[in-house]
Amino acid sequence: MEGEFERIVLKSPQYHYMMVQLDLFGAKANFDSDLFKNLIMKALKGLHGDVGGSISVDIIRFEKKSLKSILRVPSIGLVKVWSALTLYSSHNDKPCHFKVSKVSPHLPSLSVNSRDFTSELLLEKV
Amino acid sequence: MPRLLYLCENINFIVPNANIKLEKVEVMLPGCESLPDVIQDISPDLDSYYLVKRLPVVELVKEEFVKEILRKGHFTGISVGTRVDNHTVVAVLPSGHLILSVDKDLYQELGLSGKPSKYTGRNATRFVVEIDLFNANHSNGKKQYNRVLWSLKDRLNLTFNFIFSWEPINEEKVNFMQLTRLWDKYVLEDLSIVSHTIQKTQTTVVPKLSHNQSLVSTPGDGQDVSSIYEYIGTISCDANQVGGPGIYSSSYTCPEPCEEVKGITCQRWSGLISSEKIKQLLKALRSFVKSDAFVPWAALTVHGFDDSPVSWWRKEHGFHKNGCNLYTILILPDDTYWLYMAIGTNDECP
């Protein structure tokens, strides 16, 4: 049985996805996903108070070694989360910073990075 | 803030490819613990593409190149190491168009006519120059041809590192020697398509898609098209966090209704991949999904280059915060497809 052709256009995202990396400037720390999330919530509460603390951030992927992570953030809270991560500068009295490398409302687009891919192509052949 | 725009279409025929440069292709098969042979046999990693360094752009507009190479096959090429938001990007399409995305200073020095970029506001700081190499006026002796040659060679000798692929129309002989003869002053390097596998061999849950399911979800329905697309993204990003209602780090779960499968295979190929290969993969996936009862659906995702100057239907593409231009075809066993087109902030809706 043939179905009808349907086309829908979605313009209002529910979530945005961020690719972030925590840089500890060479210091060693043992992070797991719960501790990483705790750090993000601390950053949010630190800048935006209880309103920031009520934003639910989900960790989709977390790499323990490189401290890279993909976060799912509700779109209404994206600006708060991004600003809180950008301005967070110390962890346990040691300097650190969050590097936000990619932000997109489409999660599949975070799985690839053509700029890194093409620059690797050129590096290999030099 | 990056804007969301995506389309979802429910179709039951194969859609011809949009004119975007293809950088990565992913095939996702729930219910398979490894890539089936029928897909392995037409895997893109059997193909290759080429890198040529410091190629003058004028070589791409010369009449001999157009006659011997462009007209006799599908030639696709793009400059590498250049960013569409602040460098000059060059691309050649199989339709015979040369696209240059340049900044204002270079545009004024170049002296070729183009259009201001749609994504730089009232005071245009970027311009897009499009040259139709298959136009009758683009031949030796004509004013347009001489002007283009003069701009690109005598006025400004623009050179780029360029990757390209070329598939001749007639399969009788691959006339690659012709290209190496034309470009004998430059070094052509053979690059192979890189392949990467993500496999989950333990029992996993995947969304359950039913026959003739409507794209428009009813209120209270746990599953809608965006949550299915998000699910495809979690597999593609190799999500390693288990989420759930009582879990602190993540509350993400598979959209309901869902079903258990014995594993998922996600195979990714990276490089300059031709649209003919995508069509072959689509055909193979379509027959595989119909024939194998353990595979509830398959997803084919195609990513374009973030720095491509054109995207859907040869319309201008910009980077903004992520430069995404990708589409996913979700293949169902009853010969229907869902086509998701994820459109970036600086892209037009196709």
Q: What is the pLDDT of residues B291-329, one digit of tens each?
A: 877 888 888 888 888 888 887 777 777 777 777 788 888
- B7:A8 CB<8 A: yes
Q: Is A124 part of any domain?
A: no
- B307:A62 CB<8 A: no
Tell me: pLDDT of B224 over 80. no
- A109:B230 CB<8 A: no
So what's the pLDDT on residue B223? 63
Q: Is A119 part of any domain?
A: no
- Partner-chain residue, chosen from B214, B252, B307, that has the shortest CB–CB distance to A72: B252
- Partner-chain residue, chosen from B215, B233, B305, that has the shortest CB–CB distance to A6: B215
B222 touches chain A (CB under 8 A): no
In chain A, residues with a C-beta closer than 8 Å to the C-beta of B345 are: none
Question: Between B155 and B126, whose confidence is greater?
Answer: B126
So what's the pLDDT on residue B209? 76
So what's the pLDDT on residue B343? 79
Candidate from B70-79, B90-99, B194-203 with smallest mean pLDDT? B194-203
In chain A, residues with a C-beta closer than 8 Å to the C-beta of B303 are: 108-109, 112, 114
Report d(CA A55, CA B277) in Å as an integer: 44
Which phi and psi (to 5°) does residue A69 adopt? -150, 155
So what's the pLDDT on residue B308? 84
Instruction: Name residues 172-201 of chain B within 8 A of A (Cβ).
Output: 189, 191
- Contacts for B13 with CB less than 8 Å, ≥ 6 apart: none
For residue B10, give the nearest of B207, B212, B301, B223 by alpha carbon. B212
The size of the A-B interface in CB pairs under 8 A is: 170
How remote is the C-alpha of B227 from its chain's centroid? 23
- The three-class DSSP label of residue B310 is strand
- A70:B321 CB<8 A: no
So what's the pLDDT on residue A8? 75
For tokens 């390693």, the residue is B240
Question: Quick one: B35 exposed, middle or buried, by C-beta within 10 A (0-12, 13-18, 19+)?
Answer: middle
So what's the pLDDT on residue B193? 82
So what's the pLDDT on residue A3? 57
- A114:B307 CB<8 A: yes
- A112:B251 CB<8 A: no
Question: Number of folded domains in chain A?
Answer: 1
Q: Is A43 part of any domain?
A: yes
The residue of chain B with its CA nearest to that of A35 is: B249
Neighbours of B124 (CB within 10 A): 16
B48 touches chain A (CB under 8 A): no
In chain A, residues with a C-beta closer than 8 Å to the C-beta of B336 are: 3
Q: Is A36 part of any domain?
A: yes
Average pLDDT on B39-57 reads 83
Report d(CA B161, CA B186) in Å as an integer: 11
The type of residue at B329 is: I
So what's the pLDDT on residue A126? 43
Q: Is A31 part of any domain?
A: yes
In chain B, residues with a C-beta closer than 8 Å to the C-beta of A100 are: none
Q: Is A126 part of any domain?
A: no
The residue of chain A with its CA nearest to that of B80 is: A118
Angle among Cα B97, B83, A122 to the nearest 5 degrees reads 95
CATH number at residue A21: 3.30.70.3250
How do residues B33-42 score in pLDDT, each as one tens digit? 777 777 777 7
The residue of chain A with its CA nearest to that of B187 is: A125
Q: Is A80 part of any domain?
A: yes
The residue of chain A with its CA nearest to that of B23 is: A114
- Partner-chain residue, chosen from B215, B305, B322, that has the shortest CB–CB distance to A103: B322
Angle among Cα A6, B323, B3 to the nearest 5 degrees reads 55
User: Which structural domain range is residue A25 located in?
Assistant: 15-106
Report which secondary-structure segment, H or E, holds B65: helix B63-65
- B236:A75 CB<8 A: no
Which phi and psi (to 5°) does residue B260 adopt? -90, 140
So what's the pLDDT on residue B5? 47
- Partner-chain residue, chosen from A37, A60, A104, that has the shortest CB–CB distance to B322: A104
Question: Between B241 and A99, whose confidence is greater?
Answer: A99
Average pLDDT on B17-29 reads 65
Mean pLDDT of chain B: 80
Q: Where are the alpha helices (DSSP H) in B129-271?
A: 143-149, 176-182, 225-236
- Partner-chain residue, chosen from A15, A79, A111, that has the shortest CB–CB distance to B237: A111
Q: Is A89 part of any domain?
A: yes
How do residues A97-110 score in pLDDT, each as one tens digit? 999 988 988 888 88
Q: Treating both helix axes as pointing N-terminal to C-terminal, what angle do A33-53 and A78-87 enclose, rounded to 10 degrees? A: 120
* Cα of B231 to nearest chain A Cα, Å: 9
So what's the pLDDT on residue B214? 63
- Partner-chain residue, chosen from B226, B238, B250, that has the shortest CB–CB distance to A58: B250
Tell me: pLDDT of B219 over 80. no
Question: Quick one: B213 exposed, middle or buried, by C-beta within 10 A (0-12, 13-18, 19+)?
Answer: middle
Instruction: Name residues 246-285 of chain B within 8 A of A (Cβ).
Output: 248-252, 268, 270
The residue of chain B with its CA nearest to that of A71 is: B250
* Cα of A70 to nearest chain B Cα, Å: 8
- B4:A122 CB<8 A: no
| Token pair belonging to B279 | 């069509």
So what's the pLDDT on residue B338? 84
Question: Between B171 and B80, whose confidence is greater?
Answer: B80
Average pLDDT on B334-350 reads 77
| Token pair belonging to B51 | 């890198």
- A122:B80 CB<8 A: yes
In chain B, residues with a C-beta closer than 8 Å to the C-beta of A15 are: 230
